[in-house]
């Protein structure tokens, strides 16, 4: 049987602006999503029928977005076949790194390749959006300016040289649903223009980009978890060019000039990864 080995890369938000609320509880946003070299590994194998799913971490079986992604694909493709999925999870869950969404996108693309490309790229994007707002972005495999609730994905050129990130995971998760439900009370009345960050990214002005990072979730999330604000301030005091919450958290990242192990020692009580852009 045919087999594929896939990498599901995580992302960070280089800025996140929350706009108006849409029907059904969604919000319009503006953000730049940047893939990073921190990934889960997925092995796909075609089988005669049904879905087999194995994972080193919960959630298991039908509760996992990988299973849901495969099920969605097979139901819409109307193919008499099945798939075996083996997931080796590395990306922290509930961290704002998009690990689940990235896995879902890789399942859709991988199964499409494995099973003879029954869907066009546009059709895959439609399936992806039903699984989650970030999923369409992960089909592109490049940095992107993202609008709407995540369905408007405008690919951006890669930065001229790799960018290094220190990722600090505080060993607890943040609920995206909770964050969007409560953020309206914390949005500043002072408007800010996301196009400033977009221009800095396009011009490759990394240091200015790092200094101007802004995430509208921070005030809400930091009030609930003051420890996260302390992590951010410590990164800046240690020389990070900039630091920010990614997504609705709980991961805080710092942008640094080069790989430096001093950050791993300074945050030894947390999960720490030093990674670069993909």
Instruction: Report the domain count for the chain.
Output: 2
Q: What pLDDT, in 10s, does the model give residues 29-75?
A: 999 999 999 999 999 999 999 999 999 999 999 999 999 999 999 99
pLDDT at 186: 73
CA-CA distance, 208 to 56, in Å (whole number)? Answer: 40
Instruction: Decide which of 106, 129, 155 is a domain's last residue.
Output: 155
Q: Which of 11, 89, 140, 273 is catalytic?
A: 11
Residues 110 and 50 in one domain: yes
pLDDT at 255 over 90: yes
Q: What pLDDT, in 10s, does the model give residues 151-206?
A: 899 999 999 889 999 999 999 999 999 999 898 877 765 678 999 999 999 999 99
Give the mean pLDDT of 9-33. Answer: 88
Q: What's the CATH number where 17 sits?
A: 3.30.230.10
Would residue 262 show up in a list of annotated catalytic residues for this protein? Answer: no
Give the mean pLDDT of 19-37. Answer: 86
| DSSP secondary structure letter of residue 92 | P
Residues 138 and 71 in one domain: yes
Give the mean pLDDT of 100-129. Answer: 97
pLDDT at 149: 86
Residues 141 and 171 in one domain: no
Residues 79 and 109 in one domain: yes
Q: Per residue, what are the HEC states of 20-56? A: EECHHHCEEEEEEEEEEEEEEEEEEEEECCEEEEEEC
Residues 74 and 39 in one domain: yes
Cβ atoms < 10 Å from Cβ of 168:
26
The confidence band for 252, taking pLDDT boundaries of 50, 70 and 90, is very high
Would residue 134 show up in a list of annotated catalytic residues for this protein? Answer: yes
Residues 13 and 143 in one domain: yes
Q: What pLDDT, in 10s, does the model give residues 259-273?
A: 999 999 999 999 999
Residues 19 and 129 in one domain: yes
- Structural domain of 34: 3-155
Give the mean pLDDT of 227-241. Answer: 98
Residues 183 and 252 in one domain: yes
173 exposed, middle or buried (CB, 10 Å; 0-12, 13-18, 19+)? middle
Q: Indicate yes or no: pTM above 0.85.
A: yes
50 exposed, middle or buried (CB, 10 Å; 0-12, 13-18, 19+)? exposed
CA-CA distance, 42 to 51, in Å (whole number)? Answer: 14
Residues 122 and 250 in one domain: no
Instruction: Decide which of 155, 187, 202 is a domain's last residue.
Output: 155
pLDDT at 21: 75
Q: What's the CATH number where 243 sits?
A: 3.30.70.890
Do residues 256 and 241 make contact, with C-beta atoms less than 8 angstroms apart? yes
pLDDT at 25 over 70: no
pLDDT at 141 over 90: no
pLDDT at 26: 73
Q: Which of 17, 40, 68, 134 is catalytic?
A: 134
Residues 222 and 105 in one domain: no
pLDDT at 23 over 70: no
Instruction: Decide which of 99, 127, 155 is a domain's last residue.
Output: 155
DSSP SS3 for 220: helix
Residues 151 and 169 in one domain: no
pLDDT at 81 over 70: yes
Residues 99 and 205 in one domain: no
């Amino acid at each position: 049987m045919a087999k594929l080995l896939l990498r599901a890369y995580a992302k960070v938000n280089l800025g996140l602006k929350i706009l108006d609320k849409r029907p059904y509880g969604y919000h319009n946003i503006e953000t730049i999503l940047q893939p990073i070299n921190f990934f889960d590994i997925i092995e796909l194998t075609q089988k005669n029928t049904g879905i087999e799913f194995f994972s080193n971490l919960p959630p298991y079986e039908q509760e996992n977005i990988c299973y849901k992604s495969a099920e969605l694909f097979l139901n819409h493709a109307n193919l008499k076949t099945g798939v075996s999925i083996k997931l080796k999870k590395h990306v922290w869950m509930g961290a704002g790194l998009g690990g689940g969404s990235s896995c879902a996108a890789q399942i859709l693309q991988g199964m499409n390749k494995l099973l003879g490309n029954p869907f066009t790229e546009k059709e895959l994007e439609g399936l992806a959006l039903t699984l989650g707002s970030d999923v369409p972005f992960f089909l592109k495999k490049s940095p992107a300016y993202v609008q709407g609730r995540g369905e408007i994905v405008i690919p951006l050129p890669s930065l001229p040289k790799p960018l290094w990130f220190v990722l600090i995971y505080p060993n607890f998760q943040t609920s995206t649903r909770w964050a969007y439900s409560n953020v309206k009370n914390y949005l500043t009345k002072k408007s800010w223009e996301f196009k400033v960050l977009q221009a800095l990214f396009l011009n490759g002005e990394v240091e200015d980009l790092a200094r101007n990072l802004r995430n509208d979730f921070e005030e809400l999330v930091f009030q609930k978890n003051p420890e996260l604000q302390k992590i951010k301030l410590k990164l800046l005091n240690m020389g990070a060019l900039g630091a920010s919450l990614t997504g609705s958290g709980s991961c805080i990242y710092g942008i640094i000039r080069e790989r430096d192990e001093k950050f791993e020692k300074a945050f030894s009580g947390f999960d720490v990864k030093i990674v670069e852009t993909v």
